[in-house]
């Protein structure tokens, strides 16, 4: 779950000893003081259950079922009005399986227990995609089989949804295909079933022009009053192109994930033109870093030296950030620490080690020189300062992700205002 300890001690790198996980931690909307989104999407595959486990513990999954999604996520409608709470199946987690592990009844039970406002039909991802009118459904029976699973489940889903859950619930038909035409055809089939809200699935690996071609094909065939969602929309740099194209909603984890999974674009900064991206300053923890542990275990490195350099690096970065230290000192000790980290790699591939050292140094130098954390007014940057750009442990990395959500949300709102 995306939670952080609001009282985390960054100097000692630890939480208070009496902290209780979840209860004493904050979601993004709690830490920022407002919701940097208009709703939340919760995957059945993440919550888990009796069919297969997810990322929630058994007790967490049971509590989620007992009190519902909004209460569990502390995202009550009275506190966050005009927001929605979506559910989906988590099709990416079973993409390699022959059929979805969940039945329509399983998913309806999950949506009902979670008291979701919207819920996606049980889908099965199709990855194949052709930009042209070439139709290969008869040459590739697997894509046709998967689409038939999606359509069959969608038909059963909408026939049962409001009876099982209630009229407050909006069933969302998930559309899959292998070309703009096949996707549009499937969308039309779902409209005939009675869907008023559709979601385009399988878009994550596609490029923006491919998503646009599918979107245009669907919009040209379905009624204007049918709402449209894009699942897993990660094209933040191309957002402007999609405004005014008939998209009612999107979901994405990209701002969160890029905070710690991207090699260099970890920190978002809003500009008049859109974004600037900054590389987080990587200061690995000496006691847990795999490269350093290998050197220590082999006897070729003194652990005390690694810990000393680690502490000096953090000290110099913080000193520079507070305007009491120098940029030169911060970069010098940073490079020295990374030379130590790369010792083992340098023995087998000096060229590769040098390249990695330079990449780390160039990204860190730009981040330190520009001091982007001082230019952001979000509650996180204002409170923790330079710690938000240090790549080190969940409490920093997730905070950076929360900050990115804030920037992304502000960007969406600005683009919408400009295009209105």
Region 185-199: what's the mean pLDDT? 98
Residue 334 domain-assigned (yes or no)? yes
For 257-306, the pLDDT digits (tens) are 999 999 999 999 988 777 899 999 999 998 888 888 888 888 878 889 99
For 305-337, the pLDDT digits (tens) are 999 999 999 999 999 999 989 999 999 999 999
Region 214-240: what's the mean pLDDT? 92
| pTM score, whole prediction | 0.94
Q: Domain range spanning residue 168?
A: 37-252
Region 165-192: what's the mean pLDDT? 96
Total domain count for the chain?
2
pLDDT of 408 > 70? The answer is yes
Domain check: are 303 and 395 in the same one? yes
Domain check: are 158 and 51 in the same one? yes
Q: How confident is the model at residue 136 (pLDDT cuts 50, 70, 90)?
A: low
251 in active site: yes
- pLDDT of the residue at 51: 85
Domain check: are 60 and 181 in the same one? yes
Region 200-221: what's the mean pLDDT? 95
Q: What is the CATH number of the domain that holds 121?
A: 3.20.20.105
Domain check: are 288 and 370 in the same one? yes
Catalytic, out of 5, 113, 185, 251: 251
Domain check: are 233 and 343 in the same one? no
What is the rounded average pLDDT for all residues in the chain?
93
Q: How confident is the model at residue 156 (pLDDT cuts 50, 70, 90)?
A: very high
For 376-390, the pLDDT digits (tens) are 999 999 999 999 999
Q: How confident is the model at residue 139 (pLDDT cuts 50, 70, 90)?
A: low
Catalytic, out of 2, 9, 88, 237: 88
123 in active site: no
Q: Report percent pLDDT > 90 for the chain.
A: 80
For 58-114, the pLDDT digits (tens) are 999 999 999 999 999 999 999 999 999 999 999 999 999 999 999 999 999 999 999
Residue 117 domain-assigned (yes or no)? yes
Give the rounded distance of the alpha carbon of 111 from its chain centre: 21
């Amino acid at each position: 779950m995306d939670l952080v300890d609001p009282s985390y001690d960054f100097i000692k790198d630890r939480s208070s000893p009496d902290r209780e996980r979840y209860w004493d931690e904050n979601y993004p909307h709690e830490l920022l003081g407002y919701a940097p989104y208009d709703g939340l999407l919760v995957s059945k595959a993440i919550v888990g259950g009796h069919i297969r486990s997810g990322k929630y513990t058994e007790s967490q999954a049971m509590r989620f079922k007992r009190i519902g999604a909004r209460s569990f996520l502390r995202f009550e409608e009275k506190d966050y009005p005009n927001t929605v709470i979506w559910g989906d199946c988590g099709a990416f987690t079973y993409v390699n399986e022959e059929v979805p592990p969940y039945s329509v009844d399983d998913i309806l039970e999950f949506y009902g227990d979670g008291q979701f406002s919207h819920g996606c039909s049980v889908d099965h991802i199709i990855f194949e995609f052709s930009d042209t009118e070439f139709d290969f459904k008869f040459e590739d029976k697997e894509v046709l089989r998967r689409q038939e699973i999606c359509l069959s489940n969608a038909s059963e889903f909408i026939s049962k949804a409001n009876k099982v859950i209630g009229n407050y619930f909006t069933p969302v038909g998930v559309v899959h295909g292998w070309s703009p035409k096949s996707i549009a055809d499937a969308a039309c089939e779902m409209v005939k079933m009675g869907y008023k809200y559709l979601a385009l699935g399988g878009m994550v690996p596609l490029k923006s022009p491919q998503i646009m071609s599918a979107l245009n094909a669907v919009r040209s065939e379905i009624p204007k009053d049918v709402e449209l969602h894009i699942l897993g929309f990660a094209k933040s740099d191309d957002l402007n192109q999609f405004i005014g194209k008939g998209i009612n909603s999107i979901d994405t984890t990209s701002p969160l994930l890029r905070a710690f999974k991207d090699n260099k674009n970890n920190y978002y900064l809003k500009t008049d033109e859109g974004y600037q991206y900054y590389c987080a300053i990587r200061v690995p923890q000496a006691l847990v870093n795999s490269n350093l542990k290998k050197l220590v275990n082999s006897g070729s490195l003194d652990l005390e030296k690694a810990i000393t350099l680690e502490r000096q690096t953090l000290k110099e970065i913080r000193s520079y950030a507070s305007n009491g230290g120098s940029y030169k000192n911060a970069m010098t000790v940073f490079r020295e620490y990374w030379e130590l980290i790369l010792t083992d790699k340098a023995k087998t591939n000096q060229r590769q080690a040098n390249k990695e050292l330079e990449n780390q140094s160039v990204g860190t130098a730009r981040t330190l020189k520009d001091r982007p954390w001082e230019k952001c007014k979000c509650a996180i940057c204002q409170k923790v300062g330079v710690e938000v750009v240090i790549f080190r442990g969940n409490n920093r990395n997730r905070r950076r992700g929360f900050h990115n959500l804030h920037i992304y949300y502000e960007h969406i709102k600005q683009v919408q205002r400009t295009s209105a």
